[in-house]
Chain A
Amino acid sequence: MSDTSVRILDGNTFVVSDSNGDIEASLTDPTGLFSFDTRYLSRWILTVNGERLNPLSVDDLQYFEARFFLVPGTGTMYIDSKLSVIRRRAVGDGFHEELTIINHDEKPVDLTVRIDAASDFADLFEVKDALEKKGAYSASVLDGELVLGYERKTYKRQTAISASAPVKVDENGLTFEISLEPQQEWTTDLDVVTAISAGGRHVRPKYERGGRARPNMEQSLEKWLEDAPKLESDWDPLKVTYRRSLVDMAALRFSPPIAGGRSLPAAGLPWFMTMFGRDSIFTSLQALPFAPELAATTLLALGDWQGARTDDFRDEDPGRILHEMRYGEMTAFEERPHSPYYGCADATPLYVVLLDEYERWTGDRKLVQDLEREARAALNWIDEYADLKNNGYIWYQRRNEESGLENQCWKDSWDSISYRDGRIPGFPRATCELQGYAYDAKLRGARLARLVWQDAELAERLEMEAADLKRRFNRDYWVEDGEYFALGLDAEGGQIDALASNNGHLLWSGIVDKSKANAVARNLMGPRLFSGWGVRTLAKGEGRYNPIGYHVGTVWPFDSSFVAWGLRNYGFKDEAAQIAAGILDAADFFGGRLPEAFGGYERSQTKYPVEYPTACSPQAWSTGAPLLLLRTMLGLEPVGDNLIVDPALPEGIGALGLLDIPGRWGHVDAFGRERGPRQRLDSARTRKQLSVPSNGREAPAVTQQV
């Protein structure tokens, strides 16, 4: 896919085109109109008098809307056109395109305007793996519409294409014969409707001819921005990053078919616009101080899909929270297990963590009551189904050997879990952060059991188990000679002894003995893990370290944001601020939109963060990272009915305010300011970052009730 591709989307329907609005996809090329993991248009090419058009400019009006300004002729020719062509496209249940042609000439013109259309109905998985289709295609003209179809047994998908202006429709597209007087304008609406056919019917969208498609989306974006807390800072790039994060988070909202129209964060645009247990939970946690309703929907939807039986193909167990849901042909025919797939070992304990954190922010005990059964089932899964070695730890090993996931932790690439010397362990594996999440889930579950479920017995049991887990964990995972926690345990009970960022997640979960916290923080902030921008996924010097290896050396903003939260939880305020500074500085290089990951190169070596090449941007938990970092910088912590503010700002941010933070307290403002002499900034864009945190930058806490 070229860098000039234009993407617009609405939920899991999205269009990827080139910069003149055309779609010309091959099986392996991820352009087209996609909906529910299926490509509904692979060809959509506009010509005027047989000629392709040349883009003058593209307006990304909104995430769901784009406008292309075009002229006839290719890019190599001198442009002196007497015609303007404007395509305004909005995505909805398919897409709506308003095509306008203006004659600037003094003479009238006759034009043949042609749209070539076709679809390969590829499953997203097929686009990834370049697989052959097994069904039959059709194209027919019905009631003036072009209907493209694909059929494999009972599986039927259709694309219906229609125009508002007089048109000649054939099986390969639409032709308009038009005559334009001088300065005259011609326009037509084009509707491309995706349909999952059922019994010969296909569902029509709610477009009105001549009207703009889905103006309600724009309003909802405005309302979303209005409802979010307002940011004040003397460091301008932070404002840009904050706004970018909010807008991207709005785009990433996804209403799964069963959430009753409510939204939860999908994992990433455009290829991961679906429910992912882990990503949706982490992002909801990051966004809690800003948009707590995302957490509520995530909890409800994931609860609805919670595993209920044992199914090896889907790696499903009772109580397990899903990993990934897909709707395409390969999933439908069980060539892939994503209906949904459950092979993920962290989402289940994290589900309980999110439920508790949500209650602490919102005071919504009703949801905790409503989800009691789901939370109990999740807690039960930890002991009953995840402890594959029967020794009190969460282990993972896929049962679907063909298409299941080998690594069921967030670092899910094949080589992410290794020993210092680079060897890869066998299965099952018990990575360290899973034990931290289990510990946290038990303690938080105990709190909810006492507070809401009125079950003191369960609370006591969970607390005892948590204490026991913590004791064993600090013994079994502690790497003495390095003073950090091993990445995991192998099947023989030996330490998978590489040093990795997972240590920060352990601080976040609270499983780390106080006596060990200093050493862990030292490792996280030391030269092997901290790059100056953020925390490397795997430490420099380890056998598999590679600064551009997906999970073996790159810096993931999401990961670093949770490390910062962990450092704060153990009182390492300056260290947390330093990570916040590095990640937010990096965000400035990407126009406020953090990539999924960037290279683990030393900051002093590259001067700018080197983006890891990935097709997915924005990524939900990267979008959430600045939000969580705002929380950690301001030291926001709900305690009872109050929000505690305990700011620790990095050098160079003189003042930071977050106004109207929603929660059980109503709305509260939080402010932090640099104490001591103000740093002089070279320019508004430069925030001087020191490699060694200095003291005296904490500001007194200020809260005020609105």
Chain B
Amino acid sequence: MTDPTAAFFEGLDRSGHEPLLEKTIGTLRFELTNGKQEAPWFVTIKKGDVAVSRADATADCVARTDKTLFDGIVRGKENAMAAVLRGAIETEGDPELLVRFQRLFPGPSATGTPGKKS
């Protein structure tokens, strides 16, 4: 089974540009714990251009959480902002970066009742 978190970050790195982040500059560090702490993911955003790396860098915002929870977030099963509010994601630094970044996480699959036209 593929690692959803790795797939998310690798996909992000491949895309290289996210229109939703065109007003954003900064680096996020995601520290995920899976029994032990894994090597952090660094996401550097320069006006929409996005690069992902695991090499140490200075971060403007750090998000610490459980790997299982983060897997849920990147699969649309968990909501990142609710997780921040209940302390399941700990943040340090500029929270605005995380607010903007979380828009890239997918939503849960829709029921198909009112909403987007098919």
List A residues at the B interface (Cβ < 8 Å): 152-156, 196-199, 257-258, 260, 304-306, 308-314, 316-317, 327-329, 331-334, 339-340, 370, 373, 384-385, 387-388, 390, 395, 397-399, 428
Report whether A334 and B116 are in contact in the complex, using a CB–CB cutoff of 8 Å.
no
| Least Cβ–Cβ distance between B1 and chain A, in angstroms | 24
| Least Cβ–Cβ distance between A532 and chain B, in angstroms | 41
Taking CB atoms, residues of chain B closer than 8 Å to A398 are: 114
Taking CB atoms, residues of chain B closer than 8 Å to A313 are: 108
Binding site of A, secondary structure by majority: helix, strand, loop or mixed?
loop
- Across the two chains, which residue of chain B brings its CB closest to A156? B87
Return the CB mask of B74-118 against A: 1 if under 8 Å, else 0.
001001011001111011100110011001111110110111110
| Least Cβ–Cβ distance between A245 and chain B, in angstroms | 30
Say yes or no: A373-B19 contact (C-beta < 8 A), given A310-B115, A399-B111.
yes
Question: Is B38 in the interface zone, CB < 8 Å from A?
Answer: no
- Number of B interface residues in the complex (CB < 8 A): 32
Binding site of B, secondary structure by majority: helix, strand, loop or mixed?
loop
Taking CB atoms, residues of chain B closer than 8 Å to A309 are: 76, 103, 105-107
Interface positions, chain B 50-89, Cβ under 8 Å from A, are: 76, 79, 81-82, 85-88
Contact of B108 among A312, A332, A390 (CB under 8 A): A312
List B residues at the A interface (Cβ < 8 Å): 19-20, 22-23, 76, 79, 81-82, 85-88, 90-92, 95-96, 99-100, 103-108, 110-111, 113-117
Taking CB atoms, residues of chain B closer than 8 Å to A314 are: 79
Q: Can you list 29 A-B contacts with CB-CB less than 8 angstroms, sorted by A residue number?
A: A154-B87, A154-B88, A156-B87, A198-B87, A257-B95, A258-B96, A304-B99, A305-B99, A309-B106, A309-B107, A310-B110, A312-B108, A312-B111, A312-B113, A313-B108, A314-B79, A332-B82, A333-B82, A333-B86, A334-B79, A339-B81, A373-B20, A373-B22, A384-B116, A384-B117, A385-B115, A385-B117, A399-B113, A399-B114
- Across the two chains, which residue of chain A brings its CB closest to B109? A310
Taking CB atoms, residues of chain B closer than 8 Å to A198 are: 87, 90-92
- Across the two chains, which residue of chain A brings its CB closest to B108? A311
Contact of A327 among B85, B91, B103, B115 (CB under 8 A): B85
Cα of A9 to Cα of B87 in the assembled complex, Å: 25
- Across the two chains, which residue of chain A brings its CB closest to B79? A339
Report whether A331 and B85 are in contact in the complex, using a CB–CB cutoff of 8 Å.
yes
Taking CB atoms, residues of chain B closer than 8 Å to A154 are: 86-88
Cα of A314 to Cα of B113 in the assembled complex, Å: 14
Residue in B19, B96, B100, B107 whose Cβ sees the most chain A Cβ within 10 Å: B107
Cα of A367 to Cα of B90 in the assembled complex, Å: 32
